[in-house]
Amino acid sequence: MNAQPLTPAEALRSALAGLLDGLPPKQAAQAVERLIANYRGRTPTDAPVLRDRSDVAAYAAYRMPATFEAVRSALDAFAAAAPAGWTPGSHVDIGGGTGAATWAVSATWPQERPVTVLDWAEPALALGRELAESNPLLNNARWQRSRIGAALTVESTALVTISYVLGELTADDRASVVDAAADAAETVVVIEPGTPDGYARVIEARDRLIAAGLHVAAPCPHSAACPIEPGKDWCHFSARVSRSSLHRQVKGGSLAYEDEKFSYVAATRLPVAPAPSRIVRKPQIRKGQVLLDLCLPEEELARTTVTKRHGALYKAARDAEWGDAWE
């Protein structure tokens, strides 16, 4: 009996597990703790924190599964809005490092396509190239060293992803990177941590993409201004991630999973059908009713209550998840 092929998520976890062979668990955990404290948004772009292969291996093993799941969630929402049967003919991953977003694209649209990963950290690119050997859809990907900033040039492409990158850049470089993506791509998907600062960077990118002539496909049901009052709240979502032993060791937890919070925007020149509305908080299930917080096409936020009297709609509300489209 032939074994079932691994899913992209399983293949990625398997490849990542092999990275830590020979690296003492305590050393890997210490490397991750140091990198978490210093890597995201706190280091000048001329002083890389991922210094060598052991640094990159430890950080990739710890962070790639979460990045993969967050990007895949954002891509799934975009795919639901895109024209039926659409797939990206090519993909450029800006600041892609070890390639989590490229794995997510190949999981969402499982066909081989021209893929280019741009990053300035050579150890990360080298490891991404090594990991891609476990994914046949990425065997021909190009891993290209490039400064991510004002001097960035991006070749014409169907899809650009920019995931967990903008927080590492200055304001001017963030603007340049988003503008370069908008000039080059039919569709741009930006993903950042689900924090107030991450959301602010996503909104900043969203505004620039709209100004460049793209329109929002997800998560928003419109391309008007975000109805959230700045400084009062932030829009973010959650993706479930299977925890590795390294995750549990670093965080001191025993659960087999954790939830990755992320903010995102997908903007495009395609004729898309955005969600009629979007669930923007975890649904609250109470006796005989479900409370849904929605972002509406009327450019406002509202709470709706679905009760047993609504029949099939009530069942749908009970099954609904944070981030889902809602009719």
Per DSSP, the residues of 255-275 read -SEEEEEEEEEEEESS-----
DSSP summary character for residue 6? P
Between CA 278 and CA 274 the distance in angstroms is 9
Ranges of the chain with pLDDT below 70: 1-3, 20-25, 27, 35-52, 243-256
- The pLDDT, as a whole number, for residue 275 is 96
**Domain annotation for the chain: domains and CATH numbers:** 8-268 (3.40.50.150), 278-319 (no CATH)
- The pLDDT, as a whole number, for residue 62 is 80
Between CA 325 and CA 327 the distance in angstroms is 7
Between CA 94 and CA 218 the distance in angstroms is 20
Between CA 305 and CA 319 the distance in angstroms is 14
- Tell me phi and psi for residue 285, to 5 degrees: -95, 120
- Tell me phi and psi for residue 79, to 5 degrees: -60, -35
For residue 322, give the nearest of 293, 296, 298 by alpha carbon.
293
- The pLDDT, as a whole number, for residue 2 is 56
> What's the whole-model pTM score?
0.91
Total residues belonging to the chain: 327
For residue 71, give the nearest of 172, 164, 7 by alpha carbon.
164
Report yes or no: 263 and 192 within 8 Å, Cβ to Cβ. yes
- The pLDDT, as a whole number, for residue 40 is 46
- The pLDDT, as a whole number, for residue 18 is 77
- Angle formed by the axes of helices 8-19 and 100-108, nearest 10°: 160
Q: Which residues contact 232 (CB under 8 A, 6 or more apart)?
A: none
* Residue found under tokens 């609904």: 320
- The pLDDT, as a whole number, for residue 121 is 86
193: three-class secondary structure by DSSP: strand
